[in-house]
Amino acid sequence: MQSLFEDLPPVEVAGRKLVGRVLLGLLVLISALVGATAGLLLVYTTDLPQVDALEAYRPSSITELYDDRGRVIGSFALQRRVVASYENFAPVLRDALVSIEDKDFYRHSGINFWRIVGAAYRDIQSGGKVQGASTLTMQLARNLFLSPDRSFHRKVQETMLAIQIERRFTKPQIFTLYANQIFLGHGVYGFEAASEFYFGKPARDLTLAEAALLAGLPKGPGIYSPINHPDRALKRRNLVINAMLEDGKITAAQAADARSAPVALHLQHDPNSLAPYFVEEIRRYLENKYGTDQVHEGRLKVYTSLDVDLQKAANQSVLDGLAAYERRHGWKGHLENVVTQGSALDKYQHPDWDDEPEVNGYVHALVTSSGIGIATLKFGRYAAALSQADVAWTQGKVQNLLHTGDICYVKILTLTPNGAARVSLEQDSGAQGALLAIDNATGGIKAMVGGRDFSESKFNRATQALRQVGSSFKPYVYTAVIDLGGSPDDTVLDEPVTFETGSGPYSPHNYDEKFEGTITLRRALAQSRNIPALKLASKIGIKTVIDYAERFGITARLPPYLPVALGAAEITLMEQTSAYSVFPNDGVRVTPRYITKVSDYEGRVLEEDYPEVKDVVSARTARIMTAMLREVVLRGTGVAAAKMPFPVAGKTGTTNDFTDAWFMGFSPTMTCGVWVGFDEKKTLGAKETGGHAALPIWMNFMSSAMEGKDVGEFQSAPEAPVTVIQRVDTPDTSPSTDETH
């Protein structure tokens, strides 16, 4: 057979054979590459997540707490996110995000081949990975299913997932998933939550400048934070605006106006900072009942009894009251100094600064410099100065009081947008205060303050602290006497007395070391006379008094010793306040409650709480006791409250050595209790009685709480016959304290 190459010159034959071999080699190489690629894709996609799960995907979302009028007071979340729909994102925000992150988002099928090639070329030129090539869909796949590492393996998986997502979902659905999932700095996830955090408005109301600023954050939430790096944020925002102009999304005039606008933030306070002790009580309850995952990721809606306005009034009243106490007792100094602790001034960050400050709020500030007659301070992004006039109450010189690096306590008087502030020097010597307000009709807790500063101490002094209640216990003694048939006009002899007890003779005294002779029960309670209270308790038996206290809801252990009648018993502010609400409630106790309703992600009601009521004493007894406690305010130890423009009643309480100061009081609609003291149970100082330390706080709060409201009047007390207490029983007692007021 004649060869095909027989007539060809030898050179041409050799050339054609070489070409054939090259073609064969190329085919083999291509087959190998295809096979290797297929093998790699098989390996990389064997453990690929199923995008079908996205159809039922519910991003981790915030469990929100609402007050009695639907206002947010707190939240629980692993990721602070507010889920929104596509329509909730303003068109200008959608345009801004697409222009800067993925110009061809609405045209590609999940990946942008030419963008990947361009990014790879620029990476090679720069010698590193500096150019992003991921589409919004690829970013979504990475954020939902993959790790953030920059390996080839992850990139292949990201690409495959993006293609699958594009096949299953529409562009608006993909955009919505991305916009709800992305991290945008400061613990905020998703553009709805970011819009509310940075600008205090929903994402549908964003302006061009605001939308551009948010759209610039996904590239680097920390690097471009408008809070920590406003200059970088401004440049990044303007880059987004230019990209929108190039894409024809906005006009040149709109771009110019937006670029010239300053970065104007309206940062929202952490809602948990308003009533942190109350929110913490709710958290413990919910986690115990529903589990941690459900509470922090389940998007529960928790409706509570709290009132935002009353809580603000309570916070201010307690802090102002403690500041007044501190000033009465003079400057003590002993400030913490960060320089001596080895910290740099420019690196220091106090927990108080995590939240945006408010006028009339109190905050710890860092002294950045101190000289003759002036000291400069810093707290968060604000700076202030203290002159000699500002510290006059201390009777000291600025340069001697404050040194560079000191942490001092100040009240914020004014704040300006440019970061300047005016403050007054205050003091935090460790004195604590607590306040609890309860709605008489429903038992709903309307305000709760558990201490001076939740960031420094989570211990709730309103619900967890057992403290001696002093003479605020005496109403239980008088209630027992009245309920057993006594009258406020019965008389008792206020004179020196000695009780024989199992541990020896007990000779109590009155606060003023005086005796008034024969006085009515009404006056004895109003003036908080100790001897009459002990005689009454001795007559009916201390166990009877304890039984009545327990009827009022007191669960603390009350030893059967006579001094318990003077408040030598430790009770929480919560129980004491709830007990006092029995008086204006005509003898009915309504169990205190925090929550009114809890619903889940779909809106199903998980629980709904209604007031629980229990009869404690007769309406007659309650009305008589209310009238007697009204005398405490009108002519007794609580007389400072007589000037209030609505009817109030209550009782002061002070323990030995002035370690605890109380005022328990109520109007026809609300009961409020206030406690002041130190955690370590040391003296507040001479004359720091309940009427001096606690009552002003109570008055400030109740004035705000009742302002503009129809408070009503107390029910009239019935007339009762007059009798005389003649005999004093002396059961076995063991004294532990003498009471004051």
Q: Indicate which residues carry an active-site annotation.
A: 101, 471
Beta-ladder partners of 425:
410
Half-sphere exposure (CA, 13 Å, Cβ side) for 173? Answer: 10
Distance CA 348, CA 406 (A): 11
Query: Tokens for 190?
Result: 């998703």
How many other CB atoms sit within 10 Å of the CB of residue 47?
7
Q: Assess contact for 577 and 444: CB atoms under 8 A.
A: no
Distance CA 432, CA 661 (A): 11
* Sheet with 407-415, side-by-side order of all strands: 382-387, 374-379, 362-371, 407-415, 421-426
In three state form, how does the secondary structure of 338-404 look?
Answer: CCCCCCCHHHCCCHHHHCCCCCCCEEEEEEEEEECCEEEEEECCEEEEEECHHHHHHCCCHHHHCCC
Q: Assess contact for 575 and 556: CB atoms under 8 A.
A: yes
Query: Tokens for 531?
Result: 């001897």
Query: Tokens for 543?
Result: 């166990």
Q: Assess contact for 610 and 658: CB atoms under 8 A.
A: no
Distance CA 561, CA 11 (A): 125
Please enumerate in sequence order all residues whose Cβ is within 8 A of that of 51, keeping only pairs 6 or more positions apart, or say none: 161, 164, 165, 168
Distance CA 695, CA 707 (A): 18
Tell which residue, 8, 98, 381, has the closest CA to residue 226: 381
The 8-class DSSP code of residue 609 comes to: -
| Widest Cα–Cα separation across the chain | 149
How many other CB atoms sit within 10 Å of the CB of residue 350?
16
Beta-ladder partners of 301:
64, 599
State the Cα torsion 76-79-85-90 to the nearest 10°. Answer: 110
Sequence-ordered strand ranges (E) for 229-341: 301-304
Distance CA 320, CA 578 (A): 25
Beta-ladder partners of 75:
64
Q: Assess contact for 121 and 237: CB atoms under 8 A.
A: no
Location of structure tokens 């205060």: 433
Location of structure tokens 């960060």: 338
Location of structure tokens 């002093």: 470
Q: Assess contact for 471 and 651: CB atoms under 8 A.
A: yes
Distance CA 153, CA 493 (A): 92
Q: DSSP string spanning 686-699?
A: TT--IIIIIHHHHH
How many residues make up the chain in this entry?
A: 741
Please enumerate in sequence order all residues whose Cβ is within 8 A of that of 57, keeping only pairs 6 or more positions apart, or say none: 144, 177
